[in-house]
Structure 1
């Protein structure tokens, strides 16, 4: 499929989203009403409003504007006997995306995989069924309208048991699976799939406040890191250097800003003793937990190496932030912390394909193979060797 065809499909789909705003929000309202007992985090992920539709349209436009991921020459070598060897990017083939709650994945992740020339199988959660089916119908219209096979984007309206059987048996000849959801889903796919899996990892992101830092800046970054509780780039843990100037005064300012936003502040016995509004929690297991809730955990550390050790031991390997005025410490932190994205004096909330300039993302990978961090269309390809000869034989 030519790049122009792919871009025409994406542009057509953007127009269809614009024309069907009312239908999309109505379908989403049906999903929302079907699950009235949802917590705030689930509600935020499931909700599709005008702003979400704007975001989906913008993502489609961004992906369409990108260069074609297919057919890029990675390496070329011409032997002395004139045998030409070329390594180029090619699509994976068929990608299965399994996801929970987020109907925008049906548009944005599928667009990313489609731009790279892949066939896409979508399996969303039952809680978003009405919205996902409508969005897939719009995909089918866009594909058919540009005379592209509708099998490029398919929705699998399967039960949990049918989905599990598909993963185990690979009856649809899937080449790659991307599970986006809870740890139970990810673990099942990893343990049962017979094809490669890209894990869109959990968050549980840490921010470290150095003793040489602008604490007012740290407060802004922490509050911004909890602006949305349902996203994987939210901050859950804050490590504060124990020798920071005016520790109790600064701590009080941070707690006040967080509680004003409805964020519960927790910490171990040492830090809880410094402020009455910090709830005490001494179970180290909380350090491994991704909250997806209006909750933040504070801890005092001895210094940058202590902070790096804790992050590498407990975080999800997604994002980590250092707030410091010391450029040397920033380099040390960013080099030694084992996360997909590391920040100096900036909010964790930028860990996002659109913010990084790669357009819509299919996942934020916390694995080291084959790519790490936000995966856009340029990363959803593999490679293939093309060898051109003229009767060449190897003696």
Structure 2
């Protein structure tokens, strides 16, 4: 099968680099066929601090995925997130181009391009345009105007911008790893699209993606993205606490956390013990699961407390009607839901992908990107075989290459 029949998402996290390979079916749907992971080196709190190490991690994860699927990966979609990303409202207006006044994908792309024409500082670059609603001849709250009849097409959108330096360093890493960029995705939005239902978005909900170095908060109100923020705290802080508390190496602390860690001392087994090598001695000490949970629980309580405070600082209610949806690698900790509910309230649930082989919350970012691209109509099979002949008069959605060319124009 051709490499063009696959789509590859690259999730460059603070603790792990994950490559998700999905096969594009003839009907445009996808299914996950391969995963590659590697320890994330050269990254700190979502930003690149050492390009050579970051390139090495990317190549290791890509090689892992290539061996699993049996293809050569040359093009990837990458997720962008972090404290440097901000949202800015915008509005675009165009006249419908076709003579019969039927709105096609070409008109939708034109109005989104019109929304991009805003004044931004020279040190920032546009990552993505997120449509909130389309307006056709004054009729608002339209989600997909394709195929409708109208003369004037408008869009209310959010412009996602990021620090140009950070994005350019990310591009440099991808290029030095001998990869090309198929496109960029606003990662918090992709995660939310995978985790949330329509009702949750309408009620108002907070998504907390708790990773290794950062926690990304995404707020939805009345069905639309309302705000996003990043807290510089994640699973690495739990690992450091364990290393200090048990006087052991960080690598040992991480291993102990993943294998024996329990979020709440109420669910820890005092009879469950393990050996830990102590720094400065050749002896090993015996530690119980209860002792380990007494280190983990206070840090988790602090993290959830900070999440609630940050939501309030963003100007939203810290008790959203739709509750909190939690995902990310830290959410794999046993019994963590009980600690979360004690701090955030009863309306809390953990979200994770449902695909075979990637059901852990740590894969939400990569799988969410695949889901997001499919939902936006970006992915097209190489040789599509539609069940019925195409009937719409509008043009097909712009190809991935056309989207990338448009996006790269921001840097030229």
TM-score normalised to structure 2 length: 0.28
TM-score normalised to structure 1 length: 0.29
Higher helix share: 1
